[in-house]
Amino acid sequence: MGQEAITLLQLNRKIKGIIDDAMLMSVWVKAEIGELRVNRNGHCYLDLVEKDESGDHLVARARAMIWAHNFRMLKVYFESTTGQPLTTGLKVLVKVSVQFQEVYGLSLIISDIDPSYTLGDLARKRREVLNRLTEEGVIEMNKELELPEVVQKIAIISSPTAAGYGDFVHQLDNNPYGIRFYYHLFSAVMQGDQAEGSIVEALEKIFNYSSFFDAVVLIRGGGATIDLLCFDSYWVAYHIAQFPLPVITGIGHERDESVADLVANTMLKTPTAVAAFLIERAASFLQLVDEKAYLMTEMAREKIQEEKKKIDNFSRVYVPTVKTSLQRRRSKLELLVGRLPITVSQRLGNAGYGLKRYEERMVMASKNRVSFNHQLLNQYSLSLRKLPTRILNASRQKLDFLEQAKNSNDPVRLLKRGYSLTYHDGKLVKNISMLKEGDYITTRFIDGEMSAKVENVRKLKKRV
């Protein structure tokens, strides 16, 4: 083949020359950190990417690095300004120089970084989450729930090893009012890539027991801003906003509020602040109960005094009247007692006379009743003597009638009178419908029998 060819080294040298001639030695570039790693020598290697507007597809990609001596300074500067370390997923504005080496190819050497750009991007994402929650109409839903006066049954979302969780529980258990709280930990990862899904999963577990708990407490012991990015997550905020129980946050932000704080029912800075809030709220309610109890006691005491005064007044007015009435009734009773023997004697005399009259009437009535029953028995006895004779005569007449009927219907007597009896298959033929042509019949006379075959069956017309 006659085409002229150059070596790969020659090609790479040409590319290097073109890049060097372009003077791309100091360019500010906006990109997203796709990967980041630091080797043992302290050099930082990055994979910078750019995605399309949907965020689903890469449109550009380049390798970059920060030399160890420069990385130590940029790292401290970035973290002190933003409150978070350089990590994957952050959008950064970096000053780079473009280098091309014949062996390693194209690479970007980062010499500076602008942390304000990253802070602006995080703020933008946070605003987008808040705007989306507002458009969906859920941002105020949890705030609209009424927080119980006493939050005594608490579902806690936290890491079991977090210092904030230990402080929260210790403060609840050792409150100065002796109030007993029931709490249950729903463990979750509170920072890193797994935090968002872990917090949402804990909320879903609590949802299954939502009828038992009074509220949900979401706590952690603070940390760097990057460690708290999960609380700006749309899905964490979305689940908190629509949760059926009031959510109280004590995440540990000292500088500003997270999206989770903004959608929660109640936002407090730290876990200990949440514990103090719950304790003081319960104590205030107990104080209110004590005040109401005191007021009710005083009202009852006053009412008793008023009623006692009324009773005393009634006593002064009615005691003389009652005494007079009792004296009058006592006199009347003594009069009745004096008349009692005479009255009793009269009542007994009248009762004795009445009993004697009643006794005479009873004796007379008994005699009349006995005489009547005696006559009735005589009548029954006479009727019973005649009854068998009448029954026997009636039975004898009935037997004579049956005997005559039997004799008149005796088949032998009928045969003697010239009648005959015809049988088919052993059955007496009573009408012509019992026979058909071809049947064999037997006819019985007084002095014998005959057999015949039916050749013709003819029914007689009924006479009108």
- What are residue 92's DSSP bridge partners? 31
Closest of 266, 277, 221 to residue 243, by C-alpha: 266
Q: Which of 233, 256, 284 is the last residue of a domain?
A: 284
Phi/psi for 249 (5° steps) reads -105, 145
Give the pLDDT mean for 135-160.
92
Same domain, 53 and 155: no
Same domain, 185 and 254: yes
**Dihedral, 254, 255, 259, 264 alpha carbons, nearest 10:** 40
Same domain, 157 and 108: no
Could you report the per-residue pLDDT of 184-238, keeping only the tens digit for each?
A: 999 998 877 788 889 999 999 999 998 999 999 999 865 555 556 788 888 999 9
Same domain, 194 and 271: yes
Amino acid at 168: F
- At residue 390, the pLDDT reads 81
Same domain, 180 and 264: yes
In a domain, 49, yes or no: yes
Confidence band of 19 (pLDDT split at 50, 70, 90)? low
At 172, list the tokens: 């609840």
Q: Which of 284, 318, 334 is the last residue of a domain?
A: 284
Q: What is the SS3 assignment for the chain?
A: CCCCCCCHHHHHHHHHHHHHHCCCCCEEEEEEEEEEEECCCCCEEEEEEEECCCCCCEEEEEEEEECHHHHHHHHHHHHHHHCCCCCCCCEEEEEEEEEEECCCEEEEEEEEECHHHHHHHHHHHHHHHHHHHHHCCCCCCCCCCCCCCCCCEEEEEECCCCHHHHHHHHHHHCCCCCCCCEEEEEECCCCCCCHHHHHHHHHHHHHCCCCCCCEEEEECCCCCHHHHHHHHCHHHHHHHHCCCCCEEEECCCCCCCCHHHHHCCEEECCHHHHHHHHHHHHHHHHHHHHHHHHHHHHHHHHHHHHHHHHHHHHHHHHHHHHHHHHHHHHHHHHHHHHHHHHHHHHHHHHHHHHHHHHHHHHHHHHHHHHHHHHHHHHHHHHHHHHHHHHHHHHHHHHHHHHHHHHHHCCHHHHHHCCCCEEEECCEECCCHHHCCCCCEEEEEECCEEEEEECCCCCCCCCCC
**Dihedral, 257, 263, 265, 271 alpha carbons, nearest 10:** -40
Distance between CA 301 and CA 241 in Å, rounded?
49
Same domain, 168 and 220: yes
Same domain, 198 and 92: no
pLDDT surpasses 70 at 82: yes
In a domain, 22, yes or no: yes
Same domain, 198 and 277: yes
pLDDT surpasses 90 at 362: no
Same domain, 219 and 149: yes
Sign of CA dihedral 390, 392, 395, 400: negative
Give the pLDDT mean for 313-320.
77
Same domain, 37 and 99: yes
Confidence band of 342 (pLDDT split at 50, 70, 90)? confident
Our count of domains for the chain comes to 3
Q: Which of 246, 261, 284 is the last residue of a domain?
A: 284
- At residue 417, the pLDDT reads 75
Same domain, 167 and 258: yes
More confident residue, 344 or 205: 205
Amino acid at 112: D
pLDDT surpasses 70 at 77: yes
| Residue range of the domain that includes 232 | 144-284
In a domain, 319, yes or no: no
In a domain, 290, yes or no: no
More confident residue, 52 or 19: 52
The 247-250 sheet, strands edge to edge: 182-187, 153-158, 215-219, 247-250, 266-268
Could you report the per-residue pLDDT of 112-143, keeping only the tens digit for each?
A: 898 877 766 666 777 788 888 888 888 899 99
Could you report the per-residue pLDDT of 407-443, keeping only the tens digit for each?
A: 766 777 777 777 788 888 888 888 888 888 888 888 8
Q: What is the average pLDDT value for the chain, to the nearest integer? A: 83
Sign of CA dihedral 85, 86, 88, 94: positive
In a domain, 40, yes or no: yes
Q: CATH code at 24?
A: 2.40.50.140
In a domain, 315, yes or no: no
More confident residue, 58 or 299: 299
Confidence band of 56 (pLDDT split at 50, 70, 90)? low
- At residue 343, the pLDDT reads 79
Phi/psi for 282 (5° steps) reads -65, -40
Strands 427-428 and 421-424 come out as antiparallel
- At residue 391, the pLDDT reads 83
Same domain, 178 and 266: yes
Q: pTM for this structure?
A: 0.48
In a domain, 348, yes or no: no
In a domain, 108, yes or no: yes
pLDDT surpasses 80 at 267: yes
CB atoms within 10 A of CB 405: 10
